[in-house]
Structure 1
Amino acid sequence: MSTDSHQKVTADQLRRDAFLYVRQSTLRQVFENTESTKRQYALRERAVSLGWPIERVHVIDSDLGLSGASAQDRDGFQRLVAEVAIGHAGIVLGLEVSRLARNNADWHRLIELAALTRTLILDEDGVYDPACFNDRLLLGLKGAMSEAELHILSSRLQGGMRNKARRGELELPLPIGLLYHPNGSIVLDPDQQIQGSLRLLFDTYRQSHSATVVVRRFRREGWVFPRRVRRGIGKGEVHWGELNTSRVLQILHNPRYAGAFVYGRTRTGRKADLTSTQLKVAQSDWQVLIRGAHAGYIDWEEFERNQLTLRQNAVAFCQNGRGTMPREGVGLLQGRVICGKCGKRMRVRYQEVGGKLEPYYVCHDAAAHSAEKPCQSVRGRAIDDAIGALLLEMVAPAAIDVALAIEGEIAGRVEQANAMRLKQLERTRYEAELARRRYMNVDPANRMVADALEADWNASLRQLDTLQQEHDRQHQSDEALLGAEARARIRALADDFPVVWNDARVEPIERKRMLGLLIEDVTLVKAEQVLIQVRFRGGRTTVIRVDRPKPIALIRKTLPEVVRMVEELLETCSDRQIAERLNALGHTNWKGEPFTHKKVIVIRNAYHLKTRFVRLRERGMLTANELAAQLAVCPTTIYLWGQNGFLRQHRYGNQHRCLFEPLGDVVLVKGQGGRYSPTAPTFIAVQPTTQGAI
């Protein structure tokens, strides 16, 4: 490489513009390392000395405060590369290679483009022609040294941080609820409302084992949760707002709340587009873990239990999945049923039957992975009843202890909620008093400021009044919940645990949670009977057999004894009389509804039973028209004689449909005037004619 810089500058390069690239790695360097920035801007004079007019020396300084480790998000560097690629740049100026790029890929891309367009590169040491092999070799070495320098600096910083972290002395940002004491130790936040909010969060999760339930309780009670501003305007301030699920999960996964010092929970990785991202590291790979390093809200054992339940909650439908946490739905064994044929977990499907949702335990693994038919599908009502009876048999001796524990838990929850509301009320009262003092200290003549402060004071007072009324209402409700009558009712329920288990006010999710404390899983095999193998916590097993649920066709089928009774009653009763007789004996149809004459007709038609009319005709009964023709009277007269009891009639339909018994060897005698009496007919028996009579 020639040492004379002017020999490398040609007329073709002077016809193009000069581009000066200025960069500092951080905003702090921009404000504090001003001398370096001045040195970079001073390179314009070097360009002028090489022959470029000052008006054709362009300064690119839009990347001030950005790292040179990557060209991503460096608009200034990308603009510089574009100018070199299209041949607008005759020379590129930079104080040193590290100012242009700290990444070999970005640096060599710039060198290659500069070599193709015959663009020079200038730094504090001299001018280089990338088209010349020796200059390109030297530039490549400088780029490698620049990247190595960044690695060395980072290694030094990381080594010092790791060394302090191993001693537990590295100061890391603390989550809400923890603060650094002036002596350097970590203490709980002295704000009692912040402490109460966190303790209530952990207590609620300890009871429910569900982050969603925690959020629902906070929103149902109208509680707010603190959040500390980490950067920007208001840094360090505490803001109060609604709690969400992601916030709960962050707190539950944070080991600092268990009093542990942890370093290396995440590491930096690269995405497909080369952007950086934070990747979680398994607990076994954490670089530093010091238990009991400072005060916490829970102990380490509870933290590990929380991680276990969170992993169980996150288990999706997989080959080796076991029971998940309780969810909505009436299926008692949701998440705990194993297929006895393929060994996979069975899922719950709900179907409306008779206006109610009925659970079905279905094995969908073969259908989901192999497009085959489901292994088996079992209606869950009988299964749930059998498991419930088994639990009642086992848990009944400990019912009193359970009831007392429930009573204590309710009292504890009420006390926590009351303390939380009092702290929230106290903070609101303080803010209202602060707004009052601000208003009282303002100059009355400054009406614009005074009106705004007065409005803030009034808003604080309204909020305070709303919270006070809500607190009083909730306090009265809690008093009723823990009154003597309520306590007596809880203790009375302990004497009969089945009443507690079958109480309609008990949510299905609570029954599932109680079942999960005792039962690990249930294996079902559907055959002539449903085989139920129950595996309890601790390894004990038991087997139950229940009859297979009947199909709906058999369920709707009329009982055989009812059919036989209808068959017998048809000899003496009409359809309406049969319905009344069945209802009097307590019989109902498959829906539990009483019988009507139409339902009796349906039974007759379904089982092909002879009607009452057919049975009477087979016994020789006559209609009114037939009997009227025999007696030579009109049918109306026959009906009148039947109503008055002169003729024996048999009902077969409603009150007006009947058949008459035949008269046999009886004749009707005419009365005076040669007519038959419609009200009092005279019948005489005819003697049979003897042989040989005249």
Structure 2
Amino acid sequence: MSEKLKAQHFSRKAILYIRQSSAYQVSHNQESQKLQYAMRERLMQLGWREIEVIDEDLGRSAAGLVTRSGFERMVAEVCLGKVGAVAAREVSRFARNSREWQQLVEVCRVVDTVLIDQEMVYAPRQGNDRLLLGLKGSLNEYELDLLRQRSVEARREKARRGELLIASPVGYRKGERRLEKDPDRRVQEAVRLVFQKLGELGSVRQTLLWFLEHGLELPVINAREEVHWKRPSYGMLYSMLTNPAYAGAYAYGKTEQLTQYDGGEARQRVRRKPREQWLSFIPGAHDGYVVWEEFERLQATISENRMRREQIGAAQRGPALLAGLLRCRRCGHKLVVHYTGRCHDVLRYHCRRGWLDNGEPRCIGFAGLVVDQAITREVLRIVEPVAIEAAVIAHEEQARRVDEVLSALQRDLEAAQYSARRAQKQYDAADPENRLVTDELERRWNQSLQRVHEIESQIRQHRDRQGLATLPTREEFADLAADLESLWHDPGTDERLKKRVIRTLIREVVVDVDAQASEVVLVIHWRGGVHTELRLPRRRRGQSSTQTPTEVLEAVRVLAHICPDRLIAGVLNRNRLLTGRGNRWTQERITALRSYHHIPCYRADQRDGGPWMNLTEAAEHMGVSARTLRLAVARGEIEAQHPLADGPWVFNRDTLRTAAAAALVERVRSRTRQSAVPNTEQITFDFSST
């Protein structure tokens, strides 16, 4: 027995501390764990009968980066004077950092607790043992750093050669020295479809919505390198679309882990490093799903979609076509969009970033409808000469393109049918009398068949929808391209598509307001380096962008001569004409419109003998039929006003006193009525007089 062990040590209990650094060691290094538990026999041989084993920290490192509840409980027991000895297989099991190691040694020195390992007993109150414990603690810490440094350097050197394969992304499998494409053609086509849709739709979110709309699933890989199919998410698509491995490049060291302290607690944060700071970047290391140039273009698209001050941002919903493109000439900030009005349909652009950030005065602000219309005219003027050629090429490309949704569903159906056949074989191979097994296999078979039926139903629904939508012919497509303006202003045209067209042609628009001339000055910076300056009249304050259409105003001005407000409202509604805000006409709205535009109201008491009359009254005044008078108006002999197709004719009494009107009346009165020439072969009816 060691001379360092006294009676006061045996009067207290002993603690055996057991620890392994990782979960892998706990699962696989069983011999090391058994040796640590065997230290209990050594404590019993030394004379202890009350021994407590603390093994709560199995799978936890002693480097000081994680909290060890077992170690903290052991130190607390020592501080209370209840422990005579603390033991471990090696003293490095206690701690691998100076802070916790020195804390344990100092506490044991104060309460006179010895430390025991497989070799010897340490008494911290003795100077030589305290010096030896200090050296061992430093050596343990240095050994950990040395092992970590060696492993990290070996890992980095292997990564520089492009041979370090930690985890294979979806669509790849680990080869001997490089990544290889997954042999499953369904997985390959799904990955290609993701990149193809990003190129067509222009944003990760729209790509996600397209997959969700058509009910398509994407593959994922679990920890055992098994492929599963699940409903896609934004994070899944973003990690796939930004991974350079899909462009055939090997990349390592793209991120770094930073430690931040918040409230005294260490928090780990991951930061993405720029490409020039990556540890290893080897283009063309393996076969890619897209070429590197296409991958770079897609990364630029994703970067531009981020809503930052100096970037345009993704094309979103909303009528503002120039959102993210306008830049203030005075302060250099981007203009923001603001919608006002009862229905939030009045568009305005204004610069207030300096006011929001630094309290500076607001720069400029103006109505957006006129500006959007001017930019649209410029874009259509540039695009229209090549619109027909582009439409024909798009039509031919559409004819050559295979239906991606139908192809993906057919691949899903093929995989589901294979799973159903496999489940059937397992069911047939089982012993029918073993119901515990056959019931489970039958349930799996039914689930596989149900999945097959669901996919077949999706395919039928998709084909039905495709059958209703017929592709236009080459001539029809060319006609649409020739009438590009009507196609652009069609209500069914997606606003995001318009914005993508504008952003493809225009880099940015520098805008200013000329207060003296009451104009909005636009300088368009086209993608090709050409600059165009436009000056647009600025809408006055209080001037509504939803004004009454000119044709309605002119119709009311004419109809007010012969109709009261109630009848005018009925005529406008019958012709399906609405107010500037899209409402039906009423007597009160007609009255307000006349009052605002100073249109005289209808006076029934002044109708007789007045200068204005309708078709019936004009025909009676001339002594001819209404049909005759209308035909004369159609021939241009009589002047009349017909403001609405489904509305009354308006005549001025002076136009009925012209020479042409008199000639018309004379011609009608001199028309002779002769009887028909009798025909001997005509059969007559003899009616009885009785």
> Which of the five TM-score ranges fits, normalised by the shorter chain?
0.7 to 0.9
**Residue 85 of structure 1 is aligned with which of 79, 82, 86?**
79
Q: TM-score, normalised by structure 2?
A: 0.77
**Residue 329 of structure 1 is aligned with which of 295, 309, 318?**
318
Query: Could you say if the C-alpha distance between residues 86 and 491 of structure 1 is closer, same or farther in structure 2, counting changes exceeding 3 Å?
Result: farther
Find the aligned partners of 2:267 and 2:582 in 1 and give their Cα distance.
68
Query: Could you say if the C-alpha distance between residues 489 and 144 of structure 1 is closer, same or farther in structure 2, counting changes exceeding 3 Å?
Result: farther
Q: Which amino acid aligns with 1:37?
A: Q
Equivalent in the alignment of 1:546: 536
**Residue 403 of structure 1 is aligned with which of 391, 402, 407?**
391
**In 2, are the aligned partners of 1:71 and 1:78 still within 8 Å (CA)?**
no
Structure 2 counterparts to residues 45-84 of structure 1, below 5 A: 45-52=41-48, 54=49, 56-70=50-64, 72-84=66-78
Query: Could you say if the C-alpha distance between residues 25 and 419 of structure 1 is closer, same or farther in structure 2, counting changes exceeding 3 Å?
Result: same
| 1:23 partner SS | strand
Equivalent in the alignment of 2:447: 459
How much does 1:147 deviate?
1.1
**Residue 247 of structure 2 is aligned with which of 249, 252, 258?**
258
Equivalent in the alignment of 1:303: 295
| 1:375 partner SS | coil
Q: Which amino acid aligns with 1:296?
A: G
How much does 1:205 deviate?
0.8
Equivalent in the alignment of 2:428: 440
| Identity, % of aligned positions | 33
How much does 1:434 deviate?
1.5
Query: Could you say if the C-alpha distance between residues 520 and 486 of structure 1 is closer, same or farther in structure 2, counting changes exceeding 3 Å?
Result: same
Find the aligned partners of 1:327 and 1:593 in 2 and give their Cα distance.
28
Structure 2 counterparts to residues 509-548 of structure 1, below 5 A: 509-527=496-514, 528-548=518-538
How much does 1:488 deviate?
4.3
Equivalent in the alignment of 1:504: 491
How much does 1:143 deviate?
1.2
Residues 346-383 of structure 1: CA distance to partner in whole angstroms, max 9, x if unpaired? 11122245x56232212231332134553222221111
Aligned Cα root-mean-square deviation (Å) = 3.8
Structure 2 counterparts to residues 476-515 of structure 1, below 5 A: 476-478=464-466, 481=469, 483=471, 485=472, 487-515=474-502
**In 1, are the aligned partners of 2:87 and 2:116 still within 8 Å (CA)?**
yes
**In 2, are the aligned partners of 1:569 and 1:578 still within 8 Å (CA)?**
no
How much does 1:391 deviate?
0.3
| 1:95 partner SS | coil
How much does 1:422 deviate?
1.4
Equivalent in the alignment of 2:200: 207
Find the aligned partners of 1:113 and 1:103 in 2 and give their Cα distance.
16
**In 1, are the aligned partners of 2:62 and 2:97 still within 8 Å (CA)?**
yes
Find the aligned partners of 1:597 and 1:241 in 2 and give their Cα distance.
60
Find the aligned partners of 1:300 and 1:57 in 2 and give their Cα distance.
65
Query: Could you say if the C-alpha distance between residues 550 and 57 of structure 1 is closer, same or farther in structure 2, counting changes exceeding 3 Å?
Result: same
Find the aligned partners of 1:561 and 1:427 in 2 and give their Cα distance.
62
Find the aligned partners of 1:563 and 1:510 in 2 and give their Cα distance.
34
Which is worse superposed, 17-26 or 447-456?
447-456
| 1:187 partner SS | strand
**Residue 110 of structure 1 is aligned with which of 101, 104, 107?**
104
| 1:173 partner SS | coil
**In 1, are the aligned partners of 2:60 and 2:66 still within 8 Å (CA)?**
no
| 2:20 partner SS | coil
Find the aligned partners of 1:407 and 1:611 in 2 and give their Cα distance.
56
Residues 510-556 of structure 1: CA distance to partner in whole angstroms, max 9, x if unpaired? 00011111001112222311111111113221111111124345779
Residues 430-487 of structure 1: CA distance to partner in whole angstroms, max 9, x if unpaired? 111112222222222334433443333233223212312321332343355464x455
**In 2, are the aligned partners of 1:178 and 1:188 still within 8 Å (CA)?**
yes
| 2:58 partner SS | coil
| 1:490 partner SS | helix
Find the aligned partners of 2:390 and 2:400 in 1 and give their Cα distance.
15
Structure 2 counterparts to residues 414-453 of structure 1, below 5 A: 414-453=402-441
Query: Could you say if the C-alpha distance between residues 117 and 377 of structure 1 is closer, same or farther in structure 2, counting changes exceeding 3 Å?
Result: farther
Structure 2 counterparts to residues 233-252 of structure 1, below 5 A: 235-252=224-241
Q: Which has the larger radius of gyration?
A: 1
Residues 595-643 of structure 1: CA distance to partner in whole angstroms, max 9, x if unpaired? 8875676578779999999x99xxxxxxxxxxxxxxxxxxxxxxxxxxx
Number of residue pairs matched?
598
| 1:491 partner SS | helix
How much does 1:337 deviate?
1.2
1:26 aligns with 2:26: no
1:16 aligns with 2:51: no
**In 1, are the aligned partners of 2:98 and 2:138 still within 8 Å (CA)?**
yes
Query: Could you say if the C-alpha distance between residues 84 and 300 of structure 1 is closer, same or farther in structure 2, counting changes exceeding 3 Å?
Result: farther
**In 2, are the aligned partners of 1:71 and 1:106 still within 8 Å (CA)?**
no
Find the aligned partners of 2:416 and 2:169 in 1 and give their Cα distance.
24
Find the aligned partners of 2:578 and 2:377 in 1 and give their Cα distance.
27
| 2:504 partner SS | helix
**Residue 284 of structure 2 is aligned with which of 285, 289, 292?**
292
**Residue 178 of structure 1 is aligned with which of 154, 172, 175?**
172
Residues 118-137 of structure 1: CA distance to partner in whole angstroms, max 9, x if unpaired? 32222334332334444333
Find the aligned partners of 1:473 and 1:275 in 2 and give their Cα distance.
51
**In 1, are the aligned partners of 2:388 and 2:482 still within 8 Å (CA)?**
yes
Q: Which amino acid aligns with 2:499?
A: K
Equivalent in the alignment of 1:128: 122
Find the aligned partners of 2:300 and 2:551 in 1 and give their Cα distance.
57
| 1:385 partner SS | helix
1:384 aligns with 2:378: no
**In 1, are the aligned partners of 2:163 and 2:178 still within 8 Å (CA)?**
no
Find the aligned partners of 1:602 and 1:492 in 2 and give their Cα distance.
43
Equivalent in the alignment of 1:226: 219
How much does 1:331 deviate?
0.6
Find the aligned partners of 2:468 and 2:156 in 1 and give their Cα distance.
57
Query: Could you say if the C-alpha distance between residues 468 and 167 of structure 1 is closer, same or farther in structure 2, counting changes exceeding 3 Å?
Result: same
Query: Could you say if the C-alpha distance between residues 82 and 224 of structure 1 is closer, same or farther in structure 2, counting changes exceeding 3 Å?
Result: same
| 1:201 partner SS | helix
Residues 42-93 of structure 1: CA distance to partner in whole angstroms, max 9, x if unpaired? 43344344442x2x12121232333222362432222212212222222211
Which is worse superposed, 499-508 or 559-568?
559-568
How much does 1:489 deviate?
3.0
Query: Could you say if the C-alpha distance between residues 460 and 327 of structure 1 is closer, same or farther in structure 2, counting changes exceeding 3 Å?
Result: same
Query: Could you say if the C-alpha distance between residues 94 and 422 of structure 1 is closer, same or farther in structure 2, counting changes exceeding 3 Å?
Result: same
Q: Which ranges of structure 1 fall in alignment gaps of 5 or more residues?
A: 617-694
**In 2, are the aligned partners of 1:350 and 1:360 still within 8 Å (CA)?**
yes
Find the aligned partners of 1:110 and 1:259 in 2 and give their Cα distance.
53
Equivalent in the alignment of 2:148: 154
**Residue 304 of structure 2 is aligned with which of 281, 303, 312?**
312
| 1:444 partner SS | coil
Q: Which amino acid aligns with 1:21?
A: Y
How much does 1:583 deviate?
8.2
Which is worse superposed, 147-156 or 437-446?
437-446
Query: Could you say if the C-alpha distance between residues 448 and 39 of structure 1 is closer, same or farther in structure 2, counting changes exceeding 3 Å?
Result: closer
**In 2, are the aligned partners of 1:575 and 1:601 still within 8 Å (CA)?**
no
How much does 1:497 deviate?
1.8
Find the aligned partners of 1:562 and 1:431 in 2 and give their Cα distance.
67
**In 1, are the aligned partners of 2:369 and 2:545 still within 8 Å (CA)?**
no
**In 2, are the aligned partners of 1:530 and 1:546 still within 8 Å (CA)?**
yes
Q: Which amino acid aligns with 2:94?
A: L
Q: Which amino acid aligns with 1:280?
A: R
